[in-house]
Amino acid sequence: MTTSKVKSKPIWRRKRSWFLLLLIAVYGLLLSNRGTRILMQTAANHPKSQAATPVLSPTDLSDWENIQTKKLKELFQTHIYGDFPLEMTLRAEEMSRLPGTYFDNSATVDIANLTLINTENEKTRSFGLVIIRPIESEARIPIIVSQNFCPNHNVVPINGVPKPQNITFDCSGDGMMSNVFLYFFGRHITTPPIKDIMQRGYAFAAVYPTEFVPDSAQAGQLILNDYFDNFEVSERPGALMAWAAQFSLLSDYLETKLGFSKSIVYGHSRFGKTALIAAAFNPEIDGVIAHQSGTGGASLSRDKPGETVSDITNGYPHWFGNRYQNYALSQKELPVDQHQLLALIAPRPILLGNARRDVWSDPNGGFRAAQGVNPVYQLYGNSGLTAKKLSDFNPEDKISFWIRPGTHGVVKEDWPAFLDFLDAQLK
């Protein structure tokens, strides 16, 4: 009797099969997560979905400026951000200039210590400010005011810039998390190209808003509840509104006390939101660069593929007023949307920065919001946004839309576009 032997697969083939099965399983698991699916998408170049609603169709400039804008501000305060804290004032404690020149002899650097005072309850919060000026320009020039993720000593990495007290995050690149942060979000998420900014004729001011209100749900809520204890809970400002008020007071201070000719508020992501809010509530701010501001910023709250009201209020409950979370499951019931926030800035220039792979921040919704504001800009004799598709970057437009390849962050392509926009608008 003869027997036959069944040949078994070589071990390396069996291992490869198990590895392929594992890859398929991991890929399937990733695709089952909505956030991961969105991160793998690319924004279409042509605006999709419905136009921004409610439709803006103002016909009378006096009615718009004296009645409609007041109503819109009340809606944003009541339903999204909490009240704009008119009780806040800014006090300058001291200022000094670092000796010498910096950034290849292109700039001087001033250090200021400032205090925010709630005049209703006398509560105070202190923070640092770094002002960088072109070396040959003590005259009245525009200044870009920047709220940053990283502390001032990271944003302006020179000896003499003080490190804030009790910070929980450092972008110096010394640790693994800092390196990961810079790898994913770009080197300009920390330090902008300051020499280039100086050569274009702009000053630059850096502030770390976490010194005022910590950017964490627990610590942030504690500070907000204490500092704004004169507010009813339903009206208390969220962190975004508090940071926007800080932006607003800084803008006034830099123009009226330090003599800068114009102030442009700039921020990325959450601080893009605060830049827009600040300009909407302070007509003296001269322009806005809001980069990838997303939900609660320039992106429409309705009909969106990316971050929803539910996502953002669950992840960052300290950012908003107490009523915004009520719309987490019913965004269509919101009585206001983000194109109306942009409309409050008209006729001043706005740049909305975006990235093709940042669908979470919804470039499509930001573009439709910008389109929806055109009737208000036209009321002032401006065309607003002339772009027909997302890639049409027109820095001369009062509402200019910038999109590049890549993901969420600030990279080398971004700042040349920002400065081209400012040159077109301010020079």
Per-residue pLDDT of the chain (427 residues; tens, 9 = 90+): 444 454 555 554 555 556 556 555 544 544 445 666 676 688 899 988 889 999 999 999 999 999 999 999 999 999 999 999 999 999 999 999 999 999 999 999 999 999 999 999 999 999 999 999 999 876 799 999 999 999 999 999 999 999 987 777 778 766 555 665 665 677 688 899 999 999 999 999 999 999 999 999 999 999 999 999 999 999 999 999 999 999 999 999 999 999 999 999 999 999 999 999 999 999 999 999 999 999 999 999 988 888 999 999 999 999 999 999 999 888 889 999 999 999 999 999 999 999 999 999 999 999 999 999 999 999 999 999 999 999 999 999 999 999 999 999 999 999 999 999 999 999 8
Secondary structure E strands in 285-358:
287-291, 350-355
On whether the CB atoms of residues 143 and 202 are closer than 8 A, the answer is yes
Question: For residue 136, what pLDDT is reported?
Answer: 80
How do beta strands 203-207 and 123-134 pair? antiparallel
**One-letter amino acid of 158:** I
Strands of 350-355's sheet in order across: 88-97, 107-118, 123-134, 203-207, 143-147, 263-268, 287-291, 350-355, 399-404
381: phi then psi, degrees, rounded to nearest 5? 85, 15
Number of Cβ atoms within 10 Å of the Cβ of 245: 25
Which residue shows structure tokens 């965004």?
331
Q: What is the CATH number of domain 46-426?
A: 3.40.50.1820
Dihedral of the alpha carbons of 383, 388, 390, 391, in degrees to the nearest 10: -100
Q: Helix, strand or coil for residue 108?
A: strand
Q: How far is the C-alpha of 112 from the C-alpha of 131, rounded, in Å?
A: 8
Q: Helix, strand or coil for residue 9?
A: coil
Domain ranges of the chain: 13-42, 46-426
Q: Nearest to residue 212, comparing CAs of 178, 231, 240?
A: 240
Structure tokens belonging to residue 78: 């009541």
Structure tokens belonging to residue 239: 């962190």
Q: How far is the C-alpha of 134 from the C-alpha of 50, rounded, in Å?
A: 45
Secondary structure E strands in 190-328:
203-207, 263-268, 287-291
How do beta strands 350-355 and 287-291 pair? parallel
Distance between start and end Cα atoms, the chain: 99
Dihedral of the alpha carbons of 136, 137, 139, 145, in degrees to the nearest 10: -170
Q: What DSSP string describes 162-207?
A: PPPTT-S---SS-SHHHHHHHHHH-GGGTS--HHHHHHTT-EEEEE
H helices within 32-145, ranges in order? 34-39, 61-63, 69-76
Tally of CA atoms within 13 A in the half-sphere of 149 that contains its CB: 19
Question: For residue 180, what pLDDT is reported?
Answer: 58
What element of type H or E holds 114? strand 107-118
Q: How far is the C-alpha of 358 from the C-alpha of 43, rounded, in Å?
A: 7
Which residue shows structure tokens 């390396």?
12
Which residue shows structure tokens 């600030």?
410
pTM: 0.91
H helices within 82-175, ranges in order? 152-155
What element of type H or E holds 129? strand 123-134
Question: For residue 427, what pLDDT is reported?
Answer: 81
Question: For residue 189, what pLDDT is reported?
Answer: 81
Q: How far is the C-alpha of 126 from the C-alpha of 93, rounded, in Å?
A: 9
On whether the CB atoms of residues 207 and 265 are closer than 8 A, the answer is no
Number of Cβ atoms within 10 Å of the Cβ of 19: 10
Helix axes 239-256, 217-227, angle to 10 degrees: 60
What element of type H or E holds 399? strand 399-404
Q: Nearest to residue 36, comparing CAs of 23, 21, 22, 26?
A: 26
